Chain A
Amino acid sequence: MTEEQIERYSRHIILKEVGGKGQKKLFDGKVLIIGAGGLGAPIALYLAAAGIGTIGIADADNVDLSNLQRQIIHFTPDVGKPKVESAKEKMQAINPDVKVITYKEWISAANVNTIIADYDFIIDGTDNFAAKFLINDACVLAGKPYSHGGILAFDGQTITVKPKESACYRCIFPEPPPKDAIPTCSQAGVIGVLPGVLGTIQATEAIKFLLGKGELLTDRLLTYNALRMKFREIPIKRRTSCPVCGDNPTITEAVDELDAMTVCDLKG
């Protein structure tokens, strides 16, 4: 580490759970963030600041004025710019040490395996069920630990999945809801600070995973309600009947959940 790096990361290095060795683990770590929106924004900023050596970020969208109320990595002059480019600029401005790899594409069965292959830990910051189920299946099948995050209105939920060791998303929700059955944030609204709370928890999980310290948020779904200002933890068990990580899986490769896709997902 250079003198400048020692100074930059001094508040990490001083922690006995991190130290110089831990900071080196973060440098060597590779984390993929899928979605450069509400959840992805704080995740990308904090992981870059923390000195995660390689950060991938995937999103096909461009910055829209209505994103700025919560997607704090994007600024007003970025409207119209690809989200991954806007995100990369801020991440490198915070920390030039970090290598940022951008994927300006929607995640699908065709590309998910290739994209996740190079990473140690994956973070789901997507906004639709087709992507959430696909990420779960691909990560479970490839044995990649990942963090699920979901938000809606004033509520959020997150769980960390260690494939075949802890409960996965399909252990809770065996299949996606029919399209348009559950409102999206653009339909139902979302309080702007909400993804900051959830995304920061997801980033914490990635950092803990790379450090190998603490206890991951496995086998428990953490839920948060901002109006009542309550966190709850619901114990979740791996299900032997889970279609992807159970005893007799029916899902053996990552497949697009076409029924869960909305027109919005497909517009590209």
Chain B
Amino acid sequence: MDITINGKETLLPDNPDRTIDSLLEELDVSQRLYVTVELNGEVLERAAHESTPVTNGDTIEFLYFMGGGAQ
């Protein structure tokens, strides 16, 4: 499976059961429980992570919380 993650082409072993939720775990994405996932240009609701399949050619962005600035 060939997908683009954060602008990088990424080759993953084929897995028809892969979902956004399982991908986050598979890649051990930081802020896994809070990260916003954008799939093909649309921000996904968190509730949809488990039911949304990852398919060949998908473009996925992980958008992380960054809270610093003043301290």
Contacts and interface: CB of A to CB of B under 8 A. Distances in A.
Interface of A: 35-40, 59, 61, 67, 124-129, 132, 149-152, 155-157, 171-174, 177-178, 181-182, 184-186, 188, 190, 195, 221, 232, 234-237, 239, 241, 264
B36 A39 contact: no
Most interface-central of B6, B41, B63 (chain A CB within 10 A):
B63
Given A152-B67, A185-B71, 17 more contacts: A39-B69, A125-B69, A128-B67, A132-B67, A151-B68, A151-B69, A152-B66, A156-B66, A172-B36, A174-B45, A182-B67, A190-B68, A221-B63, A234-B38, A237-B42, A239-B43, A241-B45
A91 B16 CA distance: 59
29 contacts: A38-B70, A39-B69, A39-B70, A40-B69, A61-B70, A125-B69, A128-B67, A129-B67, A150-B67, A150-B69, A151-B66, A152-B66, A155-B66, A157-B64, A171-B43, A173-B63, A173-B65, A177-B34, A181-B34, A182-B65, A184-B67, A184-B68, A186-B71, A188-B68, A195-B68, A236-B38, A236-B43, A237-B42, A239-B43
A67 B71 CA distance: 7
A157 B34 CA distance: 16
Contacts of A59: 70
Nearest 4 Cβ contacts at the A-B interface: A37-B70, A150-B66, A35-B70, A185-B68
B10 interface: no
Interface of B: 6-7, 31, 33-34, 36, 38, 41-43, 45-46, 61, 63-71
Contacts, number: 98
A234 B66 CA distance: 15
Contacts of A173: 36, 63, 65
A126 B46 CA distance: 26
Contacts of A235: 41
Contacts of B6: 232
Contacts of B63: 172-173, 221, 234
Contacts of A37: 69-71
B43 A237 contact: yes
A127 B68 contact: yes
Nearest to A182: B65
B43 A127 contact: no
Contacts of B70: 35-40, 59, 61, 125-127
Nearest to B46: A174
A36 to B, nearest CB: 7
B69 A35 contact: yes
Contacts of B46: 174
Contacts of B61: 234
B34 A124 contact: no
Contacts of B7: 232
A232 B45 CA distance: 23
A201 to B, nearest CB: 13
Contacts of A128: 67, 71
Contacts of A182: 31, 34, 65-67
Nearest to A185: B68
